[in-house]
Amino acid sequence: MRLTKLLQTTALAGLVGLTSLAIGSDADAKTRWKMQSTFGSKLSILGESGKHFEKLVKDLSAGDLNIKFFEPGALVPSLEGFDAAKAGSVDAVWGTSGYHVGKVPALSFFTAVPFGPRASEILGWMQYGGGVQIYDKVMDDNDLKGIHCGIIAPETSGWFKEPITSTDQLKGLKMRFFGMGAKVMTKLGASTQLLSAADIYPALERGVIQATEFSMPSIDKNLGFYQIAKHNYFPGWHQQSSMLELLMNKGKWEALTDLQRTIIKTACDATIAWSLVRSDAIQADAMAWMQAKGVTLHDWSPEFLAKFREGWDTVVAEEVKKDPLFAATHESYTAFRKKYAIWGDRAYLK
């Protein structure tokens, strides 16, 4: 938490002079935006971080820039934020790039990658390995501006009503799954669909789906999956880290002042630190709480993980072959990971 406080204090100190000048020169200029969230404000970390960002922007601008958080579905349907921001129906969307892969499959890399890296490494690719340049080009081509504005630690990889002891049990299993991991599960015979957070529990309760993954223990606890499915599997091979996104209408972004854009970027940087630290720190308590509710925590065997990895390799080969943008993004991502390994494989304890 000290890291988070330090970043926020530094941001405030660095901007207070600029903010004071802006207030003094144009005290009546107020900018009010509506930001539709994909995650409810009370949802651990995912929604909380959106509220955290909202407050930081207001504080850093001394109230001159307000980006108001709206609950999922309040302005537009939860998974339609991409088109809504593009059209200007909303000013901004709080969510994650993985919800747009039906439009641009390569955007999956900008949330999470199966068997991908820890948070520091994927952020390193974004900032120093060419990731952000690819991402910015995709957004610019769609009249959007996106900024990564949060990141969380590993997720779990699913909630099941019965223990999974064979991949045969996945065949025909109706399961909610996110991102490129869903394509892997499909390779293993599962029938996957993407549902927003609020829709998962009712679907699980009614039997529309038989299993689900969503996020990490504190978040899944909020959504109540443990009441129906008592078997939670680790590790989250499909999402070892997951980036959050502030998606904005391009015209609205360009209409902001330089100071306002700096405030938003600074608030996003601080929210990345806040969300990562919080997401790692509170999971053990959530796991213990769920165990007390009768949940059994399972570890996938090496054999299962090998099957998931084999499925991912097949998916990558197929996507690279049919989608030039996916291929270019994958090339950039894998080149950075190869170079990073020179450092990462030696610097960190195994």
The CATH number of whichever domain residue 213 belongs to comes to 3.40.190.10
CA distance 110 to 126: 8
Q: Can you read off the two tokens belonging to residue 96? A: 């994650």
Each residue of 86-120: pLDDT tens digit?
Answer: 999 999 999 999 999 989 999 999 999 999 999 99
Looking at the structure, do residues 10 and 61 belong to the same domain, yes or no? yes
Looking at the structure, do residues 254 and 323 belong to the same domain, yes or no? no
The angle at the Cα of 108, spanning 103 to 109, to the nearest 5 degrees, equals 135
Looking at the structure, do residues 275 and 193 belong to the same domain, yes or no? no
Looking at the structure, do residues 181 and 233 belong to the same domain, yes or no? yes
CA distance 77 to 302: 40
Closest CA to 147 of 68, 105, 84, 92: 92
Looking at the structure, do residues 28 and 62 belong to the same domain, yes or no? yes
CA atoms within 13 A on the CB side of 179: 29
Q: Is residue 208 part of a domain?
A: yes
How many structural domains comprise the chain? 2
Looking at the structure, do residues 188 and 307 belong to the same domain, yes or no? yes
Each residue of 236-295: pLDDT tens digit?
Answer: 999 999 999 999 999 999 999 999 999 999 999 999 999 999 999 999 999 999 999 999
Q: Is residue 286 part of a domain?
A: no
Looking at the structure, do residues 273 and 306 belong to the same domain, yes or no? no
Q: Can you read off the two tokens belonging to residue 288? A: 């213990």
Looking at the structure, do residues 47 and 163 belong to the same domain, yes or no? no
CA distance 13 to 1: 18
Looking at the structure, do residues 164 and 147 belong to the same domain, yes or no? no
Q: Is residue 17 part of a domain?
A: yes
Tell me, letter by letter, the H, E, C secondary structure of the chain: CHHHHHHHHHHHHHHHHHHHHHHHHCCCCCEEEEEEECCCCCCCCHHHHHHHHHHHHHHHCCCCEEEEEECCCCCCCHHHHHHHHHHCCCCEEEECHHHHCCCCHHHHHHCCCCCCCCHHHHHHHHHHCCHHHHHHHHHHHCCEEEEEEEEECCCCCEEECCCCCCHHHHCCCEEECCHHHHHHHHHCCCEEECCCHHHHHHHHHHCCCCEECCCCHHHHHHHCHHHCCCEEEECCCCCCCEEEEEEEEHHHHHHCCHHHHHHHHHHHHHHHHHHHHHHHHCHHHHHHHHHHCCCEEEECCHHHHHHHHHHHHHHHHHHHHHCHHHHHHHHHHHHHHHHHHHHHHHHCCC
Looking at the structure, do residues 121 and 207 belong to the same domain, yes or no? no
Looking at the structure, do residues 234 and 342 belong to the same domain, yes or no? yes
Sign of CA dihedral 141, 134, 249, 319: positive
Residue 154 and residue 235 in contact, taking contact as beta carbons nearer than 8 Å: yes
Q: Is residue 302 part of a domain?
A: yes
Q: Is residue 292 part of a domain?
A: no
Q: Can you read off the two tokens belonging to residue 211? A: 């299993």
**pTM of the prediction?**
0.90
The angle at the Cα of 163, spanning 160 to 168, to the nearest 5 degrees, equals 90
Burial (CB < 10 A; 0-12, 13-18, 19+), residue 105, is middle
Q: Which residue has the tokens 């406080």?
A: 5
CA distance 95 to 99: 8
Q: Is residue 289 part of a domain?
A: no
Looking at the structure, do residues 206 and 230 belong to the same domain, yes or no? yes
Per-residue pLDDT of the chain (350 residues; tens, 9 = 90+): 444 444 445 444 454 444 443 443 344 468 999 999 999 999 999 999 999 999 999 999 999 999 999 999 999 998 999 999 999 999 999 999 999 998 999 999 999 999 999 999 999 999 999 999 999 999 999 999 999 999 999 999 999 999 999 999 999 999 999 999 999 999 999 999 999 999 999 999 999 999 999 999 999 999 999 999 999 999 999 999 999 999 999 999 999 999 999 999 999 999 999 999 999 999 999 999 999 999 999 999 999 999 999 999 999 999 999 999 999 999 999 999 999 999 999 999 98
Domain extent at residue 341: 158-238+297-347
